[in-house]
């Protein structure tokens, strides 16, 4: 658009000449004349040519010499406009003289300010005789009037159409010495010289006297002009000179044949003026360069959108876990972004070529333009990358980055350009410094480079008319060379900074000492496991965690508190705990998503603190929240991660198919993941974790949202993984799942293990004993004898529920209790009329609930990435309280 508008701009040329005549100020005008020497024949001749034939100036001469301003034939006769009776009365009754010819106007007073004098009716006198000339102007005859009075007092009505007039034949009122005075002086002089006078002196005195008399005191032509019209004085002087010329023609000559036209020829510009003009004409190109910066501000900002999304939904982390090297990740992004950038870049160049703007596309300029645009992409793209670590909402990042780009690009280029227009040494010095400093921004390098190229071309074009070659090589250092150099360096530096940020070079995690953490009593099993890890008996385990701790910044309590556990090969280790217990945090530390605050973990012999890339190669990870790319299909996901895991290319498709079959995704394999239901997303995430047969697999609530069939599929899958001798670390809120899969499990509360061991072990240690359900026959059922029997036989029994014919008891766990329950009921079944009875062990759920009440509720509610709202969780009442409640 700006290039289209720049086409309308007239090219720079020397100023043209201008013919000076009154009508340059518009048509029709009001002009005036006065004949101040009516008795003088010469004066009358001049007035006649001025008023009648051919009139003012050269316009009505033979052949209408003024282009576009022909003489019209519609003149009128003299007339006097009628006036109101009240106005004519003023002049009939008043005592008016030449020095006081009409009512006075009121000028500004200290109390009242007016722009123009306030004139009463009749100010300036009665309207003068006038007529319409064949120039279409109104000519007023002011002969015999006080002209100053008339012109001043009627300015408000006709000032803007009255640019001048001519008085002919007057005596110059400005000359102090009158003719009489001159005569007196010369008489005195002759008397003084007296007898010594000779002929020569006498003649000299005579001539001097007549010279002085003639020196402008009589038969003046006076030119009146309006001083706001710059050429008014010259135009009306030309009118007067024309009249004088024609008034003094020899008899018989046609005055319409004679005239003087006046033209103004501006001087050619000097070289220094030309340079300034060249600079000013490039303001058009400043607009073009602003438009380019404007367009080029949006493109790089859009590159970070995807990066932010990948970081926030953890897809980036998952890629790292799957074996992508962070440097390769950024290089790939950069290569792709540059490919994307080249498209708009080519479009810009094509537009410039289409408009054939010499400043940008002439053979010497084109390479500079191409280099500027390409290096801009090279430098601005990595400059946007660090923002992907700061923002969490892509749209916010886009708006903020675009605004910053626009601000720096436009303000930098425009400010330095306008500072250049100032002809002031100190401003230029400051400008030079500003121009050097702003080179650190690619936006400025591009914008300023385009302006410099345009300026260079404008100078060269102007000076070529002097035969001088002022064209500088656009690629030279002082032109865009320094900009190109700055941008190439910026690209490298910003890319390096991005990589350093990715490797957390600038923020080394601070390790905290174990002593600062809580020193609660530990469960015996947990203490034993800790001991085992400390003493090195877990050396051969696939995963060994030792004192692993995480304290989030701005949190007083640790999210994970000195965990110690060893997971041997072929084990499925279950991690239970209520929401916010620290399970995901543990996984995040183990997978390198967040830095460790303390402790150490070794996975298959590699430390998570120092050898993360090797650790990644030995683990599969299914994060709690699906880290999927909405646009890839399920199959593409599996193929992509298969390749990352190093699956040989011919087998990639097979591996993807295996994942699809295994998790039951056949129907959805070719649909984009964005359209998947929650359960299907979980399946895909789990399949990704399983790909590549890693020795240790971390599954964070893999079955949440899965239907029972898919869940059983997955269980089979996990069991087969264990059978292969690999290990699985699993978190789940389903006790059924843990019972089905886990060889060992631990319950986490407040970041610590509260218990650890096999399912049976936990049930027996922490279970509440047995639940007995008795159904009594008869109608109505005789419950009382049964109740008495249980109360007497089993001490510590608690009646939990009582319905029509059913009784539910809670019996404590004691040695041999199970056998005793069965034998007692078998013996007395007939007598008591018991139809049937069942005995079951307390479920894992009950064990879990007992621990859950220990979880403390965080007092300070702070915002973070993955908030867990625990406000609606009530700690479950203790067993004793519930027993009492039952009794009541
Ligand atoms: N980014 C974070 N910044 C600060 N605190 C956090 C952050 N993420 C988690 N937390 C806190 O750390 C604790 C453990 O959170 P975590 O996500 O590990 O729990 P979880 O056991 O996985 O819970 P869930 O069963 O709900 O997934 C919680 O108290 C939580 O509030
Ligand atoms: Mg979690």
pLDDT tens across 604-619, in order? 889 998 888 899 999 9
Is 368 exposed, middle or buried (CB count within 10 Å of its CB: 0-12, 13-18, 19+)? buried
Q: Which residue has the higher pLDDT, 566 or 760?
A: 566
d(CA 297, CA 798): 75
Long-range contacts of 86-91 (CB under 8 A, 24+ apart): 86/121, 87/121, 87/122, 87/126, 88/126, 90/121, 90/122, 91/122, 91/125, 91/126
The DSSP result for 77-114, as a single string, is: --B-----HHHHHHHHHS---SSS-SPPPB---SS---
Task: Give the range with max mean pLDDT: 158-167, 239-248, 415-424, 522-531.
Answer: 239-248
Answer whether 691's CB lies under 8 Å from 545's CB: no
Q: 448-457, 461-470, 575-584 — which is least confidently predicted? A: 461-470
| Residue 653: predicted pLDDT | 92
| Residue 435: predicted pLDDT | 93
Answer whether 664's CB lies under 8 Å from 710's CB: yes
State mean pLDDT over 760-768: 78
Q: How confident is the model at residue 190 (pLDDT cuts 50, 70, 90)?
A: confident
Question: For residue range 55-71, what is the model confidence (pLDDT) as tens digits?
Answer: 899 988 888 888 888 88
| Residue 846: predicted pLDDT | 67
CA of 866 to the centre of ligand 2 (A): 9
579 within ligand 1 shell (Cβ under 6 A):
yes
| Residue 327: predicted pLDDT | 93
What does R_g of the chain's alpha carbons equal in angstroms?
53
CA of 584 to the centre of ligand 2 (A): 4
CA of 541 to the centre of ligand 1 (A): 27
Q: How confident is the model at residue 858 (pLDDT cuts 50, 70, 90)?
A: very low
247 within ligand 1 shell (Cβ under 6 A):
no
Q: 130-139, 550-559, 653-662 — which is least confidently predicted? A: 550-559
Residues of the chain with pLDDT > 90, as a percent, come to: 37
Which atom of ligand 1 approaches the CA of 586 most closely?
A: 18
CA of 758 to the centre of ligand 2 (A): 22
**Which of 312, 317, 552, 556 to probe ligand 1 with, by most ligand atoms within 8 A of CB?**
552
| Residue 446: predicted pLDDT | 93
What is the residue with the minimal CA distance to atom 16 of ligand 1?
Answer: 582
Asked if the model's pLDDT at residue 514 lies above 80, the reply is no
What is the residue with the minimal CA distance to atom 4 of ligand 1?
Answer: 552
State mean pLDDT over 789-799: 85
Q: How confident is the model at residue 513 (pLDDT cuts 50, 70, 90)?
A: low
Asked if the model's pLDDT at residue 280 lies above 80, the reply is no
559 within ligand 1 shell (Cβ under 6 A):
yes
Answer whether 326's CB lies under 8 Å from 612's CB: no
What is the residue with the minimal CA distance to atom 25 of ligand 1?
Answer: 579
Coil, helix or strand at residue 650: helix
856 within ligand 1 shell (Cβ under 6 A):
no
State mean pLDDT over 863-881: 37
| Residue 506: predicted pLDDT | 76
Q: How confident is the model at residue 761 (pLDDT cuts 50, 70, 90)?
A: confident
Of 543, 538, 585, the C-alpha closest to 696 is: 543
Q: Which residue has the higher pLDDT, 515 or 582?
A: 582
Which atom of ligand 1 approaches the CA of 554 most closely?
A: 4
Question: For residue range 339-389, what is the model confidence (pLDDT) as tens digits?
Answer: 999 999 999 999 999 988 888 889 999 999 999 999 999 999 999 999 999
CA of 429 to the centre of ligand 2 (A): 61
Q: Which residue has the higher pLDDT, 579 or 868?
A: 579
DSSP letter assigned to residue 62: T
Q: 259-273, 308-322, 565-579, 634-648 — which is least confidently predicted? A: 259-273
Asked if the model's pLDDT at residue 870 lies above 60, the reply is no
Asked if the model's pLDDT at residue 211 lies above 90, the reply is no
d(CA 669, CA 687): 12
552 within ligand 1 shell (Cβ under 6 A):
yes
d(CA 26, CA 23): 5
State mean pLDDT over 811-825: 81
State mean pLDDT over 79-88: 91
The structure tokens listed for 380 are 């601005």
Which atom of ligand 1 approaches the CA of 866 most closely?
A: 8
865 within ligand 1 shell (Cβ under 6 A):
yes
Q: 215-219, 408-412, 520-524 — which is least confidently predicted? A: 215-219
State mean pLDDT over 229-258: 91
Asked if the model's pLDDT at residue 751 lies above 90, the reply is no
Number of the ligand closest to the Cα of 622: 2
| Residue 884: predicted pLDDT | 37
| Residue 888: predicted pLDDT | 32
State mean pLDDT over 163-175: 84
CA of 732 to the centre of ligand 2 (A): 9
CA of 325 to the centre of ligand 1 (A): 27
| Residue 817: predicted pLDDT | 76
Please confirm whether the linkage preceding 138 is cis (ω < 30° from 0).
no
| Residue 288: predicted pLDDT | 84
Q: What are the CA-CA distances from residue 471 to residues 289, 456, 468 (Å)?
A: 20, 6, 9
Asked if the model's pLDDT at residue 718 lies above 50, the reply is yes
Question: For residue range 97-153, what is the model confidence (pLDDT) as tens digits?
Answer: 888 999 999 888 888 888 888 888 888 899 999 999 888 899 999 998 999 999 988
- The pLDDT mean for the chain works out to 85
What is the residue with the minimal CA distance to atom 12 of ligand 1?
Answer: 559
864 within ligand 1 shell (Cβ under 6 A):
yes
| Residue 856: predicted pLDDT | 57
Asked if the model's pLDDT at residue 877 lies above 50, the reply is no
Which atom of ligand 1 approaches the CA of 624 most closely?
A: 27
What is the residue with the minimal CA distance to atom 26 of ligand 1?
Answer: 579
| Residue 867: predicted pLDDT | 40
Asked if the model's pLDDT at residue 73 lies above 90, the reply is no
d(CA 668, CA 676): 8
Unique residue bearing structure tokens 């064949």: 134
Q: Which residues contact 348 (CB under 8 A, 6 or more apart)?
A: 292, 295, 296, 373
d(CA 638, CA 635): 5
868 within ligand 1 shell (Cβ under 6 A):
yes
**Which of 623, 860, 868 to probe ligand 1 with, by most ligand atoms within 8 A of CB?**
868
Question: For residue range 684-698, what is the model confidence (pLDDT) as tens digits?
Answer: 999 999 988 899 999
Nearest-5° angle of CA 184, CA 189, CA 194?
A: 125
State mean pLDDT over 150-157: 87
Asked if the model's pLDDT at residue 74 lies above 60, the reply is yes
State mean pLDDT over 278-302: 83
What is the residue with the minimal CA distance to atom 30 of ligand 1?
Answer: 580
d(CA 762, CA 142): 125
Q: What share of the chain is helix, strand, coil (3-state, %, to 5)?
A: 50, 15, 35
| Residue 866: predicted pLDDT | 42
Answer whether 129's CB lies under 8 Å from 34's CB: no
């Amino acid at each position: 658009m700006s290039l289209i508008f720049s086409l309308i701009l007239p090219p720079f040329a020397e100023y043209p000449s201008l013919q000076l005549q009154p009508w340059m100020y518009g048509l029709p005008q009001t002009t005036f004349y006065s004949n101040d020497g009516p008795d003088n024949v010469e004066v009358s001749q001049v007035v006649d040519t001025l008023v009648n034939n051919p009139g003012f100036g050269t316009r009505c001469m033979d052949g209408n010499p003024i282009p576009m301003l022909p003489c019209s034939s519609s003149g009128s006769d003299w007339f006097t406009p009628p006036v109101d009776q009240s106005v004519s009365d003023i002049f009939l009754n008043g005592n008016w003289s030449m020095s006081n010819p009409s009512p006075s106007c009121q000028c500004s007073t200290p109390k009242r300010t007016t722009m123009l004098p306030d004139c009463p009716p009749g100010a300036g006198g009665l309207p003068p005789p006038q007529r319409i000339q064949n120039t279409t102007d109104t000519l007023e005859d002011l002969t015999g009037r006080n002209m100053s009075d008339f012109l001043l007092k009627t300015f408000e009505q006709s000032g803007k159409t009255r640019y001048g007039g001519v008085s002919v034949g007057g005596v110059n009122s400005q000359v102090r010495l009158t003719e009489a005075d001159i005569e007196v002086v010369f008489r005195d002089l002759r008397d003084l010289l007296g007898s010594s006078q000779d002929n020569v002196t006498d003649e000299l005195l005579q001539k001097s006297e007549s010279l002085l008399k003639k020196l402008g005191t009589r038969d003046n032509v006076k030119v009146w002009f309006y001083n706001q019209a710059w050429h008014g004085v010259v135009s009306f002087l030309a009118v007067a000179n024309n009249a004088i010329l024609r008034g003094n023609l020899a008899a018989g000559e046609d005055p319409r044949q004679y005239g003087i036209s006046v033209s103004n020829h501006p001087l050619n510009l000097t070289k220094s003026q030309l340079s300034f003009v060249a600079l000013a004409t490039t303001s058009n190109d400043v607009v073009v360069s602003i438009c380019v910066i404007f367009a080029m501000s949006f493109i790089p900002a859009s590159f970070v959108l995807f990066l932010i999304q990948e970081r926030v939904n953890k897809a980036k982390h998952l890629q790292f876990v799957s074996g992508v090297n962070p440097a390769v990740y950024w290089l790939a992004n950069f290569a792709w972004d540059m490919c994307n950038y080249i498209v708009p870049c080519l479009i810009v160049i094509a537009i410039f070529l289409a408009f054939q703007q010499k400043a940008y596309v002439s053979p010497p300029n084109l390479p500079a333009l191409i280099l500027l645009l390409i290096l801009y992409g090279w430098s601005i793209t990595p400059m946007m990358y660090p923002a992907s670590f700061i923002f969490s909402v892509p749209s916010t990042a886009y708006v903020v980055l675009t605004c910053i780009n626009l601000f720096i690009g436009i303000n930098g280029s425009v400010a330095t350009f306008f500072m250049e227009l100032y002809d002031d040494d100190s401003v230029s010095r400051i400008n030079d410094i500003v121009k050097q400093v702003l080179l650190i921004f690619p936006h400025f390098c591009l914008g300023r480079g385009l302006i410099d190229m345009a300026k260079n071309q404008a100078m060269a074009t102007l000076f070529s008319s002097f035969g001088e070659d002022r064209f500088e090589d656009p690629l030279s250092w002082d032109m865009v060379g320094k900009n190109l150099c700055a941008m190439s360096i910026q690209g490298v530096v910003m890319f390096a900074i991005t990589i350093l940020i990715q490797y957390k070079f600038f923020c080394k995690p601070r390790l905290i000492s174990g002593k600062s953490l809580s020193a609660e009593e530990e469960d015996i099993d947990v203490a034993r496991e800790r001991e085992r890890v400390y003493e090195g008996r877990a050396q051969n385990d696939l995963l060994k965690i030792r004192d692993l701790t995480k304290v989030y910044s701005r949190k007083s309590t640790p999210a994970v508190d000195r965990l110690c556990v060893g997971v041997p090969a072929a084990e499925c280790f279950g991690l239970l705990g209520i929401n916010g217990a620290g399970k995901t945090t543990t996984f995040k530390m183990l997978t390198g998503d967040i830095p460790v605050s303390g402790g150490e973990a070794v996975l298959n012999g590699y430390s998570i603190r120092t050898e993360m890339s090797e650790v990644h190669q030995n683990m599969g990870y299914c994060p709690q929240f699906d880290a999927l790319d909405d646009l890839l299909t399920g199959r593409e996901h599996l193929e992509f991660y298969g390749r990352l895991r190093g699956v040989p290319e011919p087998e990639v498709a097979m591996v993807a198919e295996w994942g699809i079959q295994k998790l039951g995704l056949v129907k959805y394999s070719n649909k984009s993941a964005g359209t998947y239901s929650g359960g299907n997303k979980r399946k895909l995430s789990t399949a990704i974790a399983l790909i590549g047969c890693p020795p240790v697999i971390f599954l964070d609530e893999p079955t949440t949202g899965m239907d029972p069939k898919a869940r059983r599929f997955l269980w089979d899958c996990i069991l087969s993984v264990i059978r292969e001798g690999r290990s699985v670390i699993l978190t789940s809120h389903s006790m059924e799942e843990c019972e089905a899969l886990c060889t060992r499990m631990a319950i986490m509360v407040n970041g610590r293990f509260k218990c650890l061991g096999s399912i049976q072990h936990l049930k027996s240690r922490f279970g509440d004993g047995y639940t007995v359900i008795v159904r009594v026959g008869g109608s109505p059922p005789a419950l009382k004898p049964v109740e008495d029997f249980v109360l007497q036989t089993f001490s510590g029994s608690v009646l939990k529920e009582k319905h029509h014919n059913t009784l539910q008891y809670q019996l404590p766990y004691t040695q041999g209790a199970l056998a005793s329950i069965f034998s007692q009921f078998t013996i007395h079944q007939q007598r008591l009329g018991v139809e049937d009875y069942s005995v079951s062990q307390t479920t894992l759920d009950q064990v879990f609930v007992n621990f859950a009440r220990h979880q403390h509720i965080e007092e300070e509610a702070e915002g973070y990435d993955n908030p867990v709202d625990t406000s609606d969780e009530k700690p479950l009442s203790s067993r004793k309280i519930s027993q009492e409640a039952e009794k009541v």
